[in-house]
Amino acid sequence: MKNFSTTFRLFSILLSLALVSTACMKKQNLKEEDLGVAFSRDEVAIALFSAFGPFNFSEIRPLESYRIASTERVQGGSTQTAFVQDVVIYEINDGVIDPNKLYLDIDLLTNTGSTPGIVKSGIVSFTKPSGISGVAFVDDTIPFLSTEDRRPLFLFEILQRIAFTSCITDEDYQESCHKLTTKAVQKRLPSGSEAQKATCPSTPDNCLINATQIEFDIIRHKQPDDDNRPDRVHYTFVISQDTPFTARVLELCSRALYPTESGGKLLADVCYSVRDYTFGDQ
């Protein structure tokens, strides 16, 4: 997704201005010149898909569900929640109606701040592009949602977009990826969550699952800033195969410098994080 980072909107910039310092930005090294070796699109994609495992949509189960939060934090400030979504999947149709389509019949509840959400129900369709086996991109049109509604978040779909459309250099777009790192981590499931109850019911306060943390920088050479430096975004993925298919991407964060109305820049993190999930019918 070549413009992935630009789709994010920081909703609390003005409230957080006083909390950000120049020293804090420098510690993040987003402007450092030594980028190291460039990694190819294939190398980044292999790292992401090795952590995710096979894209087998038959693993999605009826009544599989997840809760995901979108949070934003200006460096030096506190984390603020933009919205929380609950998605419940009732029926899966993979290629039966149309061999090039994946259909999910879902309930979607989005809560924004103190505004209570309303459950919306309907079918979300994904198109599988020819030539990329097992990859599905969510269709632009979701009939049961209005133009004012937030679209459901499918982090496995965003992972695919980043994996297949990043680190590309051609005549129209010059982009490189750097500082690719992969490490094994463990994530603690919140005590009392549905995920914890299903995974380790006898140890609610020490429920850990295995995961892989992947980080890399994307440099967009045709998008220089005011200092004539290329646009730079740092990505962090946390992925686990110990979760339901739709919750394998436990966390996706981007860090970038965002312009302000005063002409300066703020360093901010925007994250999508899975807070709970259920495995559905086995």
In a domain, 272, yes or no: yes
Residue 256 CA to residue 31 CA, distance in Å, equals 10
Q: What is the pLDDT of residue 198?
A: 94
Closest CA to 35 of 161, 175, 168: 175
Residue 205 lies in a domain: yes
The domain total for the chain is: 1
- Residue 235 inside a domain? The answer is yes
Sequence-distant (≥ 6) Cβ neighbours of residue 177 within 8 angstroms: 38, 39, 40, 41, 43, 44, 166, 167, 216, 217, 218, 219
Amino acid 247: pLDDT: 97
Kindly state whether residue 108 falls inside one of the protein's structural domains: no
- For residue 88, tell me if it sits in a domain: no
Average pLDDT, consecutive stretches of 10 residues, N- to C-terminus, the chain (282 residues): 39 32 40 77 93 89 96 88 95 85 94 87 85 68 88 93 83 83 96 94 93 93 62 93 96 89 85 96 80
pLDDT at 228: 61
pLDDT value of residue 29: 56
Q: Kindly state whether residue 78 falls inside one of the protein's structural domains.
A: yes
Q: By residue range, what is the domain housing residue 202?
A: 5-57+68-82+154-278
215: CB partners within 8 A, 6+ apart: 179, 180, 181, 234, 235, 236, 237
Q: Is residue 135 part of a domain?
A: no
pLDDT at residue number 25? 33
Nearest-angstrom CA–CA distance, 155 and 141: 18
With respect to residue 73, please indicate whether it lies within any of the assigned structural domains: yes
